[in-house]
Structure formats: structure tokens, C-alpha cells
A and B are shown apart, each in its own frame.
Chain A
Amino acid sequence: MTTVLAVARRCALLLASLIVSSLVVFILLRLLPGDIARTKLGMFATNEEVEALRVQLGLDRALAVQYLEWLGNAVRGDLGTSMISGASVGGELFAKSAVTLPLIAAASVLAFLVAVPLGMYAGLRRTSWRGVTVSGIGQLGVAVPTFWIGVLLITGFAVTLQWLPSGGFPVDSWRDTGEAVRSMILPTITLALAQGAVLMRYARSATIDVLQTEWFRTARATGMSTRTALRVHGVRNVLSPVVSVLGVQLATLVVGAIIVESVFALPGVGQMLLQDVSQRDVIKVQGTVAVATALVFVVGFVVDAALNVIDPRTRERE
């Protein structure tokens, strides 16, 4: 029974987080100096025209009412229409996600697959020069800005070697599969490297922790070699903190995706967001950030659930 209660409590917290964060963004955006309606109509509009538009857009009502209306619509999937283009916010978001979501997913998987073995190796060979080197690379990787990795990769593989495109995405999107994949290779590697460095450091320190536990000694006392014991016993114990870090890293992953899209001129959500910001398209920014934050929270929730499967002790600790 307590598990049901715990899950319900988690869901309630999730919901509350979503509402509060979207509210915060809403308020921030409504603090716009200058008037949304006037911005849209321009300097030469008369006061009556501005006032009329305000009533039409519902900007004359109380903030709370405006927010609740937005929330009500959002829950039903209607995020409003862009102030600049008039297109549906939800529609555009959906279209652009076709670029952004695969990027984030592929980069996460790649980062994980690279970071965990490397981190375990660095932890195992901590005292040898090999382990120190790998660890040093990780230390370096954390200090390198994501966009620089991207630029360097472009310089190397696109400009110098000319193996891959230096940016952009085919007009036909995924239907032109070959070109689409080629366009995604460098961006995915860039994002994966940036995330991987962070994950690797956690994997390394988790491995070092495991090697020093008493139960690891028990495993060795039964005749297992260190490597076997690590492979058989230790992997789960290393995965647990790494997966939990992944949950925390989600927000930075989203930001990383925005940056990478900027570096490689990918027509994804990130680039769209930056454009909307410069055009002061408040409604689109509101919708995009709300959805992005919601996604981060929901995936975090899923990661937490996965963690409970890997490490049942977290359930008990609640």
C-alpha cells in the first residue's frame, strides 16, 4: 500500500512542478516592458487600435485569468498561436522536435555507452598511467565548452576532410534519410562528448567506491578476480549513481541540444527558441519553455522510476 501512496505522491509533486514552472515563466514573460499589442501593431498605431487588439488578445483581463486560460488550453494541447507568424505553436514545436528529440536521445545513449566503460576502466586502473590519462581526458572534457567541440569537429571533419556536412539539415527532413543521418553525425558526437565527460567522472568515482567496499572484498575472497568481480557484481552498483546523474543532467542536455543546433544550424526546437527570443514572440517562448521543462521533469520522473528498479534501496530510503 505504501508504494501506491509513494507513487501517487511522486505524481502529485510532478504535476505541481509543471504548474509552478510554467507559472514562473508566464509571469516573467508578462513583465515585458512595453506592450505586446503595441509591439505587434508598431509605433504608428493609434491608442484605440492598440486597445482593441488588447481586448481581442485578452490582455486586458487579470493575469491570473490569462494564466488559467493558457493552462487550460495547454493541457488540452493548444499552446496558442505565434504572435509573429500566426502559426500554431504546438504544430511548429512538433515539427521541429523531429530534429531535436532524435539528437538528444542518440547523444544520451552514445554518451552512456562511452562513459560507463571508460569510467570503470579509469577507476580500475586508477594508479596506472593509463587510468590517469583517461581520467585526465575526462577532466579536460568537462572544461571544454560544447560549442567549441562542435566547431573543432566541423573544422576537422567537414572543412578539412570534407567527409561530413558542416551544418544544416535536408529540406525533406527524415525522408531524405541518408543526408539526414549524415547531418546528424557530428552534432550527436558533439553533444555526446560533452555529456559523456561528465558521466565518465561519475562512473569513475563510483567504480573507485565499489572497489573499496567490504562486499567487493567478500567477492574476491571467494576467488573472483577483480575484473570478474567488477563485471559480475559491480556494474549495477556503478550504474545506479550514473543513471541518477543522468536525471540531473537532463536540463543541461536540453541546453546542450540548443547550443549544438546553433552550431550546426539544425532546424530544431533550440534554434526556433533563439529566433523567437530575438523576435520577442512571447507566446511561442512561453509554450516552448513550458513544454521543454515539462519534458525534463517527466523524463526525470521516469529516470527515478528506473533507478528504483536498479537500486531497490532507494525505495526504502523514502
Chain B
Amino acid sequence: MTLLEVRNLTVRFGDNIVVNDVSFDVATGGRLGIIGESGSGKTMAMLAVLGVLPSGAEVSGSIRCDGVELVGADEDVRRSVRGRTIGMVFQEPLTALNPLMRVDRQIGWPLRLHHGVSRRDADAAAVEWCARVGLDEPERIARRLPHEMSGGQRQRIGLAIALAARPRLLIADEPTTALDVTVQDDILGLLESLVDGEGLSLVFVSHDLGVVARMARDIAVMRLGRIVEKRPTAELSERAADPYAKALIESARRGTADLRRLLRGES
């Protein structure tokens, strides 16, 4: 059953077309990876799905979530989807969290909003979420402010906020790009276990082919607002037709080979 159906999505700011006729599906339990460099429109496309584009954006095309059309829908309809059906975690954890609010409150609000949970219960649930995203001493860290923790910890909080209201689809927009390499692996592992554990569908956006390949079963390559290649991950390296996609794969492969040579066969 298709959870998310995007057809001919176009996003423009005046004369500037940032997403150009993009179409993709995400099935229940599916894992879609979207790869592209900055400016490829991948983030804008995700913001369009969620309906939180910056002001001045014009959207055309179709976005269907659970069969409900979102483009042109009432704000009430769109709001009911955000957080409850689709959750999103962003790239820059420091700026994505309210600097003046305790993190447990930030996690608790989606619960209070969508499920009518009381403040006290939401605070308690937030502590559980802190534990679930792998934070040590969750009761203590829950009461902290974002600037009192590390980048990796903040991104875990970001995940908790995105998943608090138990959405069915998680959109992860470059969630590890701003983090140290050592932390990246932890977060990706956490993401995998959460997706498996909660039975989520996933859209994973990145510019790093290696990371995308790990997280996704199908990959769409975006360039200058268009999807130029869309294939299952396993088939991508052999069957890629688009020249840009092929160049991307080739440079990733060469990078890995160089690394192996450098480490003299250590895997």
C-alpha cells in the first residue's frame, strides 16, 4: 500500500524553479533514498511534502498521503498530517531546536498537540524517548537546553521530536551531515533500529552515496530539481543510465578503492 504518492511536483520561487516535475512513491515499510548535491532541490521537495516551505513558494502537482491530496488542501488538513503521519528530522541540530526551551518540553509538545496528552504525562514520555534514542541519564538530559549538549545528542533529540507523535513516515534530511564522522555512524545505527523497531517508512536524503546506499532500498538521484535516475539500490551501480548518476557512482567507487588502498586492505 502506497503511503506517499508524489506526482509531477513542481516548486518555484517566482521565476526560479527549484523542484521540477518530480515523481516518486513510498510504500508502507519502504525505504527511499534521495541523493543529490546542494541545489538539487532535494530539501525543497521534502519541505513541500510536509508543507513548510519558506514564504513565496508556489507548489503545483500532486502529493497524496494515505490517499489524501495535500497540494492546495486546507491548512487544517496539512497540519493533521505533520507530525502525526509524517515526521521530519533536519540537518542542523543546533538551529533546529528552540534554544530557550527544555528539550523534554520540545519532545512533549507533539504528543500534547496530536494526542491530547497532559503536560506531566508528556514530560514523562519525553524521558522515555530520550532513553529510546540512546541518551545516557535520560532524566537529567531531558531537562537541559539544546546548547548544553553535544551535536550528536541534539540530533537524537531531533529524532525524538520527529517521532514523538508516532508518525508512519520519517523524512530524514541530511541528518548526519553536520555531525562528526564518529558520531555519524552511531546516529545512522540509531535510525536503522528506530525504523525497524517502530515499523516506519523512511525517506533518507543525503549527498553521500555511501550513507544513502546503507539506509535505502531504492534510490532516486536528483539534479537541478529533477529526478534523473530511480532504481533499487542493488541495481543502481550496474543499471544506471543517466550520465550524472553514473559519474556519481564512479567517484564513490573510486573513493572507496582509494581508501582501501590507503588502509592496505583493512575493511
Binding site for B on A (CB under 8 A): 127, 213-215, 217-225, 228, 232-233, 236-237, 240, 310-313, 316
Contact = CB atoms under 8 A, between A and B. Distances in A.
9 contacts: A218-B90, A218-B96, A219-B98, A221-B82, A223-B81, A223-B83, A228-B113, A312-B145, A313-B100
Contacts of B162: 221-222
A214 B87 CA distance: 15
Interface in B111-147: 113-114, 145, 147
Contacts of A310: 100
Contacts of A225: 75, 79
Nearest to A234: B98
A213, A222, A310, A311 interface centre (most CB from chain B within 10 Å): A222
Interface string B51-74: 010010000000000000000000
B31 interface: no
Interface string B145-167: 10100000000001001101100
B52 A217 contact: yes
Contacts of A217: 52, 90, 96
B100 A237 contact: yes
A311 B50 CA distance: 31
A228 B162 CA distance: 18
B209 interface: no
A174 B81 CA distance: 59
A273 B181 CA distance: 66
B110 interface: yes
B164 to A, nearest CB: 7
B88 interface: yes
A214 B109 contact: no
Interface string B81-97: 11110011010100111
A310 B164 CA distance: 26
B192 to A, nearest CB: 22
Given A221-B90, A312-B100, 13 more contacts: A214-B90, A218-B96, A218-B98, A218-B161, A219-B98, A222-B162, A223-B83, A223-B114, A223-B165, A224-B79, A236-B101, A313-B99, A313-B147
Given A221-B52, A222-B162, A312-B145, A214 B95 contact: yes
Nearest to B113: A223
A217 B158 CA distance: 12
Interface string B17-56: 0000000000000000000000000000000001010010
Given A221-B52, A223-B83, A316-B147, A233 B98 contact: yes
B80 interface: yes
B100 A222 contact: no
A222 B110 contact: yes
* Interface size range on B against A: 20 to 34
A311 B100 CA distance: 6
Nearest to A235: B100
B113 A215 contact: no
Nearest to B98: A215
A221 B98 contact: no
B150 to A, nearest CB: 15
Contacts of B110: 222-223
Interface string B164-201: 11000000000000000000000000000000000000
A105 B92 CA distance: 43
Contacts of A240: 100
Contacts of B81: 223
A215 B101 CA distance: 11
B96 A220 contact: no
Contact of B109 (A219, A311, A312): A219
Contacts of B50: 221
A225 B83 CA distance: 12
B147 A218 contact: no
B115 to A, nearest CB: 11
A220 B82 CA distance: 8
A107 to B, nearest CB: 28
Nearest to A217: B52
A316 B50 CA distance: 35
Contacts of A313: 99-100, 145, 147
B81, B95, B96, B158 interface centre (most CB from chain A within 10 Å): B96
B95 A215 contact: yes
A233 B161 CA distance: 14
Nearest to A214: B95
A15 B173 CA distance: 52
Contacts of A222: 82-83, 87, 109-110, 113, 161-162, 164-165
A228 B83 CA distance: 15
Contacts of A312: 100, 145
